[in-house]
Structure 1
Amino acid sequence: MEYSPPSLSDQAHFNDEKVHIILAASGSVATIKLPNIAKALSRHHNVSIRIIVTKSAERFLDGQSLEQPPLEALRAVPGVEAIYRDEDEWKTPWTRGDPILHIELRKWAHLLLVAPLSANTMAKMTMGIADNLLLSVIRAWDTTGLVDGKIKIKKPLIFVAPAMNTAMWNHPITGKQIEILEKEWGVNNPSKDGWVSVLRPMEKHLACGDTGNGAMMDWEAIVCIVEQYIGAQPRRHSSITG
């Protein structure tokens, strides 16, 4: 049976006293760590999660192995409210007054965690391209904190965890894109008006066989960074492997 996520209206969640996290994955082998991240974050009682996967990311979570469960299995994780694919954006013909999914997701979210951020999605993000659901959410992000300021205490951030082959990471175009993300849009830029936090990759033996930089930051380290940012509350009991 085809899974259809529940309809989303940001208005229904304004006062639920939870931290709203969009957890997203783009096309990288590191997508197999998405279940671990979701389960770890879901242990917190004050966290609500909605997952977005790109078309390429779906290929890594199709029940191939224990560490690659079917994507639908994540619906059973406490705190995971919905899973969205690209086709969910315009599933039915739009009429005036209907909610627009990528806008509703943006309004709903207190933060967006893209782990992994593939080379392709990084390139499109820095160019402002919005040709899938995830990129549309990013393109519609409230980068100033002024649009959704009445419904959110602080400006929402986007955390990105790049993951790619070493040669791709070392490519000069990647350096230019990272410069945009860190120096122009980064939370630590001189003007202090940034909205992106880059969780830089690490060096290891990659799935492709190469050894070098480009592997996604350890998923547990990513979770710790997010937990510190949101001031996470006590955890639900959960079993995590990987």
Structure 2
Amino acid sequence: MSCNKKKFNILLGCTGSVATIKLPVVIQTLIEKQFTEDAKFEIKVILTENAKHFVDVRDITPDVTFLTDADEWNAWKQRGDPVLHIDLTKWADVFVIAPLDANSLAKMAQGLCDNLLLCTARAWNFNKPIFFCPAMNTFMWEHPITSEHVAKLVQWGYREIPCISKTLMCGDTGNGAMAEVDTIVSHIVEYFRSSNKDEI
């Protein structure tokens, strides 16, 4: 890798879907990609309280920063202190919510923001991309309200990385599985390639 690497700040978000178990693979794939892309990726991850159930951050490289709701509140004590969800929207070049479960999808579509991840999404600057990767049981995916919620996010400027059909963790087979890791990473890398980031 050259000394003039391009720097790219990647913010990942995980909600309470079992697909969060793929987070270590997403991170590892991104770390490997930075060598082939002659880039320097800095990665931060927002975990909702439910997402924490599916991943042990001790199993992931210490170079990645993990953030939770507690970090939001611990960072602010008085007027003038940093507001974490605002700082994250300024820091990140791209925000990828993978997975986005049915509950968080519904909240986002209604404009709710009761945790760090949803606050960051609500405050997002749409001059930069924000991707979302739906992940839920097939029956939940096929519920009529789901297509309405997805369409609303897309209308607002969110970029969908569509779910796929496969045998789900619950044993059902059908649509609703999160997109493959390589597909998710390819969207991030493609945006990186097309951007005009200054070299450091």
User: Would you say same fold, with TM above 0.5?
Assistant: yes
Residue number among 141, 148, 161 corresponding to 1:176 in the alignment: 148
1:119 to 102, 108, 115: 102
Q: 1:111–1:157: 8 Å Cα contact kept in structure 2?
A: yes
Q: CA deviation at 1:73?
A: 2.9
The residue aligned with 2:59 is 73
Specify the SS of the correspondent of 1:27: coil
Q: Which amino acid aligns with 1:217?
A: A
Please list every run of 5 or more consecutive structure 1 residues that lacks an aligned counterpart in the other structure: 1-15, 62-69, 144-154, 186-193, 233-242
1:42–1:49 Cα contact (<8 Å) kept? no
Equivalent pair of 2:9/2:94 in contact (CA under 8 Å): yes
Of 28, 42, 48, 1:48 maps to 42
Q: RMSD across aligned C-alpha pairs, in angstroms?
A: 1.6
Q: Is the 1:18–1:48 Cα contact (8 Å) retained in structure 2?
A: yes
Cα pair 1:169 1:214 within 8 Å, conserved: yes
Higher share in helix: 2
1:23 equivalent in alignment to 2:9 = no
Distance 1:48 1:88 in 2: 19
Query: Hey, what does 1:206 align to over in structure 2?
Result: 168
Distance (whole Å) between structure 2 residues aligned to residue 92 and residue 203 of structure 1: 41
Aligned-pair distance for 1:93? Answer: 5.3
Q: Aligned partners of 1:32, 1:26: CA distance in 2, in Å?
A: 11
Is 1:156 aligned to 2:121, yes or no? no
Structure 2 letter corresponding to 1:209: G
**Deviation digits for residues 49-81 of structure 1, max 9, x if unmatched?**
1011101110011xxxxxxxx2133243x5x2x
Report the TM-score when normalising by structure 2: 0.87
Q: Does 1:218 align with 2:180?
A: yes
Q: Answer yes or no: is the 8 Å Cα contact 1:42–1:48 preserved in 2.
A: no
Structure 1 contact 75–83 (Cα < 8 Å) conserved: no
1:231 is aligned to 193
Alignment of 1:70-109 (within 5 A): 70-76=56-62, 78=63, 80=64, 82-91=65-74, 94-109=77-92
TM-score by structure 1 length?
0.73
Q: In 1, distance between residues paired with 2:82 and 2:28?
A: 29
Partners of 1:109 and 1:93 in 2: CA distance: 20
In structure 2, how many angstroms separate the alpha carbons of the residues matched to 1:120 and 1:18?
Answer: 33
Contact 2:167 2:174 in 1 (8 A): yes
Cα deviation, residue 33, structure 1:
0.7
Q: Specify the code of the residue in structure 1 equivalent to 2:15.
A: S
**Number of corresponding residues:** 185
Match of 2:137 among 161, 165, 190: 165
The Cα shift of 1:83 comes to: 0.6
- Contact 2:75-2:84 within 8 A present in 1 as well: no
- Residues 123-134 of structure 1 aligned to structure 2 (within 5 Å): 123-134=106-117
CA distance in 2, matches of 1:92, 1:160: 26
